[in-house]
Amino acid sequence: MKIPLAWLEQECGGPVDRAALLDHLHESGARAGLHADHVVEVLPPPELAHLGSVRGLAAEVRARNAAGPTAPQRSASPCSASPCSAPLPGGLALTAEDGLPARVAAAVVRLPGEVRLPGAAADRLRAAGVPLTGTVADLAAYVGIETGQPLGAADAGELDVTGLRLRSAGPAGPADPADPAGPPPEGLLLRAGERTVAVLGRDTPAAAVPADGRDTLVWAWWLDPAAAHPAPGTGPGPDGPPAVRGHDPRSCDRAVARLVALVTDWAGGTVTAAGGAGADAPAPRVLRPDPGELRRLVDPDLDLATLAALLAAGGALVAPPEQGRPLHVTVPAARPDLDGVPALAGEAARVRGYPTLPRRLPPSAAGPWPDRARLLRRGLTTAALRRGLQQVTTPVLLRSGEPLGAVGTPPEAEPVTVHGRAGLRAMRVRGSLLPGLLVVAGRALRRAGAAHVFEVGQVPRSAALGDESWRLAAVLAGAVAPPSLVEPRPRTAGFADLDGLLRTAAAAAGHEAFELTPEPHAEFAAGASFTVRVRGTAVGRAGILSEETAALADAAGERVCCAELDLDLLGGPAPVPPTVRVPEPLPPPAFNVTVVVPEAVSAGEVLRVVARAGGTEDRRTAVKDLLQGGQVPTGHLSLTVRAEFLRTDDGPLRDERRRRREAVLRALADRGWSGR
């Protein structure tokens, strides 16, 4: 869409920087360029269709300059609708094929004579380079630039306005004697009887209809951007994909309604009939964002009433806010981009003015690890790996007749069975990590003579969806130390090794130590069965397997030490606040100059000359080298001075350094001193 900069500056209330405007448009993802330095052509993406109208673009420019809305009508959504737009009258029979991703709005108007625009409107069109014709084409051009929605017009006396319909054309449309160009392949057409009135997706200029009192048909179209598939290297135009026109299907209705209002107000005409057909706008969406999160993203000091006013100025309908409760925001169908808290915060910031945003976001109060459970699992896994245990993953489903299936499961727990096809009917979900872990340990004992394994996994509490708990289970059995001269046989794992593992796990969980309370458990041997507690709360079990249970695990005669902890009961360590290392400051820029002076000249005088001429302070200059004799003339000294300075120019550093050094050399020459 071509938007005259004169229009944009009038809407913004001041001059607009061309370069900054193009930079903002490119940053937003829109394609933009200047034409003859007085018109900007904008091809916005579908989610930013309001940038294709002068009103929407002006609202964006005012927001980026922190000017805010300047009038009540400009506080509305930056869509292409005008505040003067009213619902279209009925009476025009317009039909559309089912399922077409497009919409057309049309009206039949009658002009009594030549159209004469008001002086300001005529000046705007002249600034846009639009020749005035005295017909409805002038009004269509004005509305097109104002709303970003192009309109077309034709003599209604030559068309069958009772048979207007929106339809699709096949790959090879039939030839039309009344339309020599014929329908384009695979297009959407507005037809009047058997004649093609318009091709959707192409900006059809309004025809210069004679203003002799005859009826004139005006129309506007909307096409779903997702339905347009551009060919590589093509753009909007007669042979490329259509440009984005409005946020929602009703944008064409609002453009025609605006044209109808201008026909009545400016030209003294009448409206015979109007109507629309095709895709309709979806229902408004209701969002309930957290006001605290919105304020955190926009400005933590923003009060709730101001926040609601900003969202309402963006086009949303906001219920009266209440402290401590979410906002009730109704988003119109014209704003599909407002789909969550970040988008609402961005809209509030746009209306309020981007430069008013704080330069830095407020610090997070949750710490670097807001998920304490995840931090606990990671710490316990690292601790077990460092003690030499091997992490494994065991099956979740067990057969109902599994000998070890009940090991570690509380007696009162009801098993979670699986109902499905024949191969899964005899399966149930594990109630503990120990059965699968003992199977792995038994295989390791038979093959390697040692088993030091652990697993971190989830176990269901009940059959309810999501009712699960994270657990850590460990098994120690077999040799833990090789044979030596003192111990000719390998030392096997004992309960002391399991107790050391539990102490390491307690430290990783942020506790001093676990309490081991002797209590009987069905799978452990009498006298070696304990309940693990933290400050009196039971969090797991630990002990040595009984002979019967060890035999079921193919570890008969072995001493198998086991432990299982419920991680949900441990709580997890407190998050560690992040530490920020402030980088060392970079040394200031500097330049060096060598000066030869008589011995009677003091070094302080030389430093003062260099500082004054170099535009720096005396304390930033120092003598780095002193030479006498050799190539230095008799009775003279050679001083090498380093001068640091604070930057004052925005240009390249090397240019500023060169300018300062040349100024110093000129000052030295004025004193009669030799410098280089």
Q: What is the pLDDT of residues 261-302, one digit of tens each?
A: 888 888 888 888 888 888 887 778 888 888 888 888 888 888
Is 50 exceeded by the pLDDT of residue 42?
Answer: yes
Q: Dig out the tokens for 349 from the structure.
A: 């910031």
Amino acid at 199: V
Q: With bands split at pLDDT 50, 70 and 90, how would you rate the model's confidence at 545?
A: very high
Q: Which helix (H) or strand (E) holds 477?
A: strand 468-481
Tell me the C-alpha distance between 33 and 139, whole Å: 25
Residue 308 near residue 327, CB atoms below 8 Å: yes
Q: Hey, is 197 helix, strand or coil?
A: strand
Residues 126-143, buried b or exposed e (16+ Cβ, 10 A)?
Answer: ebbebeebbbbbbbbbbb
pLDDT of res. 421: 65
Task: Please compute the mean of the pLDDT values over residues 186-190 and round it to a whole number.
Answer: 74
C-beta atoms surrounding 1 within 10 Å: 26
Residue 200 near residue 223, CB atoms below 8 Å: yes
Q: With bands split at pLDDT 50, 70 and 90, how would you rate the model's confidence at 237?
A: very low
Burial of 631 (C-beta count, 10 Å sphere; 0-12/13-18/19+): exposed
Is 60 exceeded by the pLDDT of residue 80?
Answer: no
Is 50 exceeded by the pLDDT of residue 82?
Answer: no
**What is the value of pTM for the model shown?**
0.47
Is 50 exceeded by the pLDDT of residue 184?
Answer: no
Residue 453 near residue 441, CB atoms below 8 Å: yes
Task: Please compute the mean of the pLDDT values over residues 615-625 and round it to a whole number.
Answer: 90
pLDDT of res. 578: 60
Task: Please compute the mean of the pLDDT values over residues 173-191 and round it to a whole number.
Answer: 56
Q: Dig out the tokens for 512 from the structure.
A: 């001093």
pLDDT of res. 288: 86
Is 50 exceeded by the pLDDT of residue 180?
Answer: no
Tell me the C-alpha distance between 4 and 450, whole Å: 82
